[in-house]
């Protein structure tokens, strides 16, 4: 069975102000890597646009209305100091979410064993009622709920190794015992949430914060001691990865020191979990990663490992 790659050129048209780290060159860098001959076995598909009904699985009507009508005819419309929309943003946002949903459909129907969704903007900071931190709709969360509704998935897990805490995903699933959310992230750092004592209403939120300067050893320890045992006990029937690569040592937004070997390792660990309880089903959704060389190396490691599944 194959690994599916989901992307769409319209995701380049979400423009951000000059100097903004979340820029379309990120996807160009990924395209270049995954265009290499050794990735020719990937099945490639274009991300469809999500419907607003799909978005409503995780977001309030107020938030959907805000995004739906906010894109400017020219220039930028600011949602907050870091988060803005350009004329092409709405389509990119909907394809980013729709790509995650399409990837979930593919692994749930058996069309693919696992999938990587190389779209932007990212999603894990988007809360039920609040877009923030470069994020508009929570792609990973929506794909998770979609899979539960459409395919009757009882237990799903979202594992987030982006260097920032996925406050949005935690917010959406805080009181939902059917979804486990696990995160490693640098703390303190934006957005400020993610302490180990934030556990959700049903103890299904698993936060393993790391400190500035931490590298491979501490990252792997957090997985081996905290996250992997909890995932094994939970036995998810579907595993979603919020795949941010900004914990790479080259990344300008944070101070962890991971490299390609760490992303290879964590991907393999998560594939072992998925093999044990989820029939190997993994949907990996791009979140952060802002140094183009670090991002390229990390995505190479991550997708190469997914393809071995």
Catalytic (active-site) positions: 125
The 3-class SS string of 192-239 reads CCCCCCCCCCCCCEEEEEECCCCEHHHHHHHHHHHHHHHHHHHCCCEE
Using the contact rule CB under 5 A, the part of the chain among 40-48, 98-106, 163-171, 172-180 near Zn ion is: 163-171
Residue 251 touches Zn ion, criterion: CB under 5 A:
no
Site string for Zn ion, 192-211 (x = CB under 5 A): --------------------
49 or 246, CB closer to Zn ion? 246
Q: How far is CA 96 from the centre of its chain?
A: 10
Using the contact rule CB under 5 A, the part of the chain among 142-150, 159-167, 194-202, 261-269 near Zn ion is: 159-167
Q: Are 97 and 142 in contact (CB under 8 A)?
A: yes
* Cβ neighbours around 77 below 10 Å, total: 15
Among 14, 26, 125, 164, binds Zn ion (CB under 5 A): 164
Residue 246 touches Zn ion, criterion: CB under 5 A:
yes
Q: Are 92 and 121 in contact (CB under 8 A)?
A: yes
Total residues contacting Zn ion (rule CB under 5 A)? 5
Residue 162 touches Zn ion, criterion: CB under 5 A:
yes
157 or 286, CB closer to Zn ion? 286
Residue 297 touches Zn ion, criterion: CB under 5 A:
no
8 or 164, CB closer to Zn ion? 164
Residue nearest to Zn ion (CB): 288
And the tokens for 269? Answer: 């660990």
Q: How far is CA 136 from CA 91, 128, 130, 204, in A?
A: 12, 10, 8, 24
And the tokens for 248? Answer: 């790479």
Q: How far is CA 201 from the centre of its chain?
A: 23
Using the contact rule CB under 5 A, the part of the chain among 23-31, 75-83, 94-102, 244-252 near Zn ion is: 244-252
């Amino acid at each position: 069975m194959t690994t599916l790659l989901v992307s769409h050129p319209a995701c380049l048209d979400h423009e951000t102000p000059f100097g903004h780290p979340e820029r379309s060159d990120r996807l160009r860098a990924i395209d270049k890597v995954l265009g290499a001959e050794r990735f020719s076995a990937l099945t490639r598909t274009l991300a469809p646009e999500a419907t607003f009904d799909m978005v409503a699985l995780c977001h309030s009507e107020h938030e959907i209305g805000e995004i739906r009508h906010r894109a400017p005819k020219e220039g930028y419309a600011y949602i907050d100091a870091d988060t803005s929309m350009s004329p092409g943003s709405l389509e990119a946002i909907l394809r980013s979410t729709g790509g995650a949903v399409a990837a979930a459909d593919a692994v749930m129907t058996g069309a693919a064993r696992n999938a990587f969704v190389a779209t932007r903007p990212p999603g894990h900071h988007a809360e039920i009622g609040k877009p923030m931190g470069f994020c508009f709709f929570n792609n990973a969360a929506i794909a998770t709920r979609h899979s539960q509704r459409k395919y009757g998935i009882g237990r799903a897990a979202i594992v987030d190794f982006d260097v920032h805490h996925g406050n949005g995903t935690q917010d959406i699933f805080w009181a939902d015992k059917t979804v486990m959310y696990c995160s490693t992230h640098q703390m303190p750092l934006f957005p400020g949430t993610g302490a180990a004592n934030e556990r959700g209403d049903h103890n299904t939120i698993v936060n393993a914060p790391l400190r500035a300067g931490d590298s491979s050893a501490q990252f792997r320890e957090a997985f081996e001691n905290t996250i992997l045992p909890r995932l094994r006990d939970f036995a998810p029937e579907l595993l979603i990865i919020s795949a941010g690569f900004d914990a790479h040592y080259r990344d300008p937004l944070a101070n962890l020191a991971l490299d390609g070997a760490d992303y290879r390792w964590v991907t393999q660990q998560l594939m072992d979990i998925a093999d044990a309880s989820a029939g190997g089903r993994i949907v990996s959704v791009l979140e952060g990663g802002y140094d183009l060389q670090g991002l390229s190396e990390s995505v190479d490691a991550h997708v190469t490992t997914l393809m071995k599944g």
